[in-house]
Structure formats: structure tokens, C-alpha cells
């Protein structure tokens, strides 16, 4: 089996290059995940750079592009990827080293949508009671709150590629929508108004790359569509 990895060390390389590793097929089990394989390679070659932490698909550290698709290496089985696996860093982000990219713009966009609950002042200070929410209201948050900020979506979004500094991207918009639809948040109108701009919610063209890329099965594209409807409704 051939593993091709795009590598780049800013201290010694002028540009990224592809390095090929060979692995004995027998070393790869039916249940071997790509992260385990990378860890094996790192034992052979300690200079290989990639991030990881939880190893079970919940921390969002190890987004990477494998045979053209963005994924989390820790929950991606090796066998179905075929005999030749090409691993690249997440597209569109500046490369720091090997598979490690600089996600600062992605984090900034997240922060810009003010992704925190702004509840009623009085209720939020009351230590004796929770802010009530019906199961139906709570259910609306399913599919948004589970985001792990892995950036697989934003890194596959053409609108984000062109304007990562202006367009929030699918992950940030998903987060924005998560607070718009949270029954406890009282700033819905402000939130909608701040996103009502050509380069914000409306820069999304619903190409749906984001939804296809999300390793957690979330649907940012649909959330953004909902967001746009809410914005338009809010105008009138």
C-alpha cells in the first residue's frame, strides 16, 4: 500500500512536496483508522507533523484532505480508501507544517458571530431556576450544537476560499444559526440584522460542499438556508 503525504517544513522547504511511504498491506486491519496509520508512520519518521487528541471524532483536531475529501483521520477507515492514499492538509488554510494548518481566520469568523447565549438578564442571574425550554424547542438545536470546529466544511466551501476574511463560512454560520434558533436567546433580531449582508449569510450559494464534508453528519447548508429565510422574514 502506498501512502502519499504532502509535506512542508517552513525551516527547510521552499514549497510543499509529496512524500511517498510504503506500507505492508498486512499491517492494515479491517478496522484500522487512518490516524493509527499516521501514528505508525510517525514512529518511523518522527518529523511528520499532524494534530490529534481524542482519537474518537469528538475534538476536531485532525481534519485533513484524503483522496480529495475532507475528513477526520481518527474516524476514517483505511481499507476503503484503496491501495493508494493521498493525504493533504485541509485546503485553503495557510500551511504551518505538513498536515498542520493555520486556522486563525476560521476561529476569528466563529468568534465574530458572537457564538454565546444572550439570555434574559433576569432569568440568567437566577441561580434557583433553569431557563425553561420545551423538548421541541430544544430539539431545534440538534444538528447545530454538535459542531466540533474541525473546519472540514469551511475548508471545502468555495465562497470561503475566496473571502475567508469576509465570509463567515459554514461553521460560523451554523453557530450563528444555533443561537438564532435557541429559544433562550433574546437577541435574535440583532443577530439576524448583523448577518443581513451580501458578504455574510448571502454569500453562501448552497453548493452544499460543506454538508457533504461534515464528518459529524451536520448540515450547515440547510442551517444557512433557514438563516436566510429568517433574515428575509425579519426585514418585513
Q: 100: which strand partners?
A: 97
61 is a contact residue toward ligand FES (CB under 6 A): yes
Partner in contact with 171, chosen from another protein, ligand SF4, ligand FES, none, beta carbon below 5 to 8 Å by kind? ligand SF4
170 is a contact residue toward ligand FES (CB under 6 A): no
1 is a contact residue toward ligand SF4 (CB under 6 A): no
Piece of 51-59, 191-199, 202-210, 219-227 that binds another protein (CB under 8 A): 51-59
Find the binder of another protein among 18, 20, 47, 163 (CB under 8 A).
Answer: 47
Find the binder of ligand FES among 18, 27, 54, 104 (CB under 6 A).
Answer: 54
95 is a contact residue toward another protein (CB under 8 A): no
* Residue placing its CB nearer to another protein in the complex, 202 or 222: 222
Find the binder of ligand FES among 21, 28, 60, 178 (CB under 6 A).
Answer: 60
Kindly write out the interface string for residues 137-176 of this chain, putting x where it contacts ligand SF4 by CB under 6 A and - elsewhere.
----------xxxxxxx---x-x----------xx--x--
Cα separation, 10 vs 172, whole angstroms: 29
C-alpha pair distances (Å), 53 with each of 58, 61, 110, 111, 230? 9, 6, 21, 23, 37
Binders of another protein among residues 138 to 167 (CB under 8 A) are 138, 141, 145-146, 148-149
Number of residues that bind ligand SF4 (CB under 6 A): 26
Residues that bind ligand SF4 (CB under 6 A): 147-153, 157, 159, 170-171, 174, 204-210, 213-214, 216, 218, 220-221, 224
Residues that bind ligand FES (CB under 6 A): 52-55, 57-62, 72, 74
Amino acid at each position: 500500500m502506498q501512502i502519499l503525504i504532502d509535506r512542508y517544513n517552513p525551516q527547510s522547504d521552499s514549497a510543499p512536496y509529496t512524500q511517498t511511504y510504503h506500507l505492508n498491506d498486512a499491517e492494515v486491519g479491517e478496522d484500522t483508522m487512518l490516524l493509527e496509520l499516521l501514528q505508525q508512520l510517525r514512529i518511523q519518521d518522527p518529523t511528520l507533523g499532524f494534530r490529534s487528541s481524542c482519537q474518537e471524532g469528538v475534538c476536531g483536531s485532525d481534519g485533513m484532505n484524503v483522496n480529495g475529501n475532507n475528513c477526520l483521520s481518527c474516524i476514517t477507515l483505511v481499507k476503503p480508501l484503496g491501495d493508494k492514499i493521498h493525504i493533504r492538509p485541509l485546503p485553503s488554510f495557510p500551511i504551518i507544517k505538513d498536515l498542520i494548518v493555520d486556522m486563525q481566520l476560521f476561529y476569528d469568523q466563529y468568534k465574530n458571530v458572537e457564538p454565546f447565549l444572550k439570555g434574559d438578564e433576569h432569568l440568567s442571574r437566577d441561580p434557583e431556576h433553569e431557563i425553561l425550554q420545551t423538548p421541541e424547542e430544544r430539539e431545534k438545536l440538534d444538528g447545530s450544537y454538535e459542531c466540533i470546529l474541525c473546519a472540514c466544511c469551511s475548508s471545502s466551501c468555495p465562497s470561503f476560499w475566496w473571502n475567508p476574511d469576509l465570509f463567515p463560512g459554514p461553521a460560523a454560520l451554523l453557530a450563528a444559526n444555533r443561537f438564532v434558533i435557541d429559544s433562550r436567546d433574546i437577541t435574535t433580531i440583532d443577530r439576524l440584522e448583523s448577518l443581513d449582508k451580501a458578504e455574510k449569510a448571502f454569500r453562501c450559494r448552497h453548493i452544499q460542499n460543506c454538508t457533504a464534508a461534515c464528518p459529524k453528519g451536520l448540515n450547515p447548508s440547510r442551517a444557512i438556508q433557514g438563516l436566510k429565510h429568517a433574515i428575509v422574514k425579519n426585514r418585513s
